[in-house]
Amino acid sequence: MAGDYDVIVVGAGPGGYVTAIRASQLGFRTAVIDREHLGGICLNWGCIPTKALLRSAEIYHYLQHPAEYGLTVEGKVGFNAKAVVSRSRGVSKRLSDGVAFLMKKNKIDVIWGEARIETAPKGEAPGTVAVAETKRAQPPKGALGAGSYRGQHIIVATGARPRALPGIEPDKKLIWTYYEAMVPERMPASLLVMGSGAIGIEFASFYRTMGVEVTVVEVLPQILPVEDAEIAALARKRLEKAGIRIMTGAKVTKVEKGADEVTATVEDGKGQVQTIRAERLISAVGVVGNTENLGLEALGVGIERGVVRTDGLGRTNVPGIYAIGDVAGPPMLAHKAEHEGERCMDAIAGLHAEPLDKGKIPGCTYCQPQVASVGITEAKAKEQGLDIRVGRFPFVGNGKAIALGEPDGLVKTIFDRKTGQLLGAHMVGAEVTELIQGFVVAMNLETTEEELIHTVFPHPTLSEMMHEAVLDAYGRVIHS
């Protein structure tokens, strides 16, 4: 064997590298295997670089409206698309290099290549991972290469990839996934975004801010389908005000490719058919877990609807094989993957560990305006037959929001009428992706409305709206 380990983690994304660090902290000899880049999709092609792009768009937006802040800008405001992309890639590289540093610091071996878990003789638990050479990317300095490695515990953290619809498969030129959408050589004149989840709406917001004509097509009745309907409607209003054309209850049924544009046939659900031409199309219709070519099927590991079945602590039906993160199912979020990995390792080490409560995992969309939420929506609460109190507070009633020039938005809270339990919190507006964690902490501490009402929030801050939304649910709102 090229190496023997207590724990081998397959995949070095946020879930994988955090799991490896936790394993090392617990005293396990640990290795992590990857075929392309440390930090996974999140650091390299997802969460981080998109936020860098959106930050450039945000600053560009403010530069176009200096008079609103009593400022003047001489000359024409513009941008360099290549420089915007270059900054984003630089941010990703810095963080990916940081993961390499963390691996070295925690004495974790990095193995570079394509991993496949081999079957074991009858009666023995699988524990051998064959690693084949990969040419996807240059290995980080000091990484081990192809070979056969033995691990007592093997954790699959291989993430997910963009889902492709039949007949509308991405081609890297005219039909993009988030990979191509993050590194445009130039800004297209027009863009069609298929899907209005977080990925689709973030790209729609970015490209529209940079001056592109954007159309979003969503098959469901509302954009941001997992969000509270009231919050999604307010976000839609702002996005449409910014110039984004949004079609809900509609679907792209056919795409024809031209020399430098696509022609999409769109059915609106009411029998109407439209033709939309755009220079580029972004397919943002979800992701699917990377379960293939890992040897899981031969081992008998349970896979359902493209994700690995686990018991909530990462354990599969095959002893010694675990799965965490996107490959283990929704919500497919980096922070969910990290915490699943830590709990999986704690369980392996014999420490007290409980399955992650997915109802307390926050979701964030970094469009303009931002959207953030935790817990159940108002519609879901009613569907469950719960007797609820709903509180709302608008951004226009908050001094800090007005001072920032960001008076559009809403904070919404949902409480159980009988117990005072906080069931959900939903926000749309400036910086709500930072505010939501206050409600996440409150839910994890099983905080009631009384404790939130008596919590002192600093003034002037956007967070005061969180307090007011709680007060409103109980008929005590002050500034509205």
- Given 61, 352, 459, 479, which residue is catalytic? 459
The reply to whether 459 belongs to the active site is yes
Handedness of CA 79, 80, 86, 89 (dihedral sign): positive
- DSSP-based three-state secondary structure for 128: strand
By residue count, the chain amounts to 480
Name, in order, each residue with C-beta under 8 angstroms of 111's C-beta and a sequence gap of 6 or more.
3, 31, 32, 33, 34, 131, 143, 144, 145, 147, 149
Structure token pair of residue 314: 């990462």
Structure token pair of residue 291: 């379960």
- Dmax (CA) for the chain in angstroms is 76
Q: Position of tokens 């159980």?
A: 416
Closest listed residue to residue 309, CA positions, set 336, 286, 289, 295? 289
Helical residues (DSSP H) of 360-473, grouped into ranges: 378-383, 399-404, 432-444, 449-453, 464-473
Whether 150 and 3 have beta carbons less than 8 Å apart is answered as yes
- Active-site annotation, residues: 459
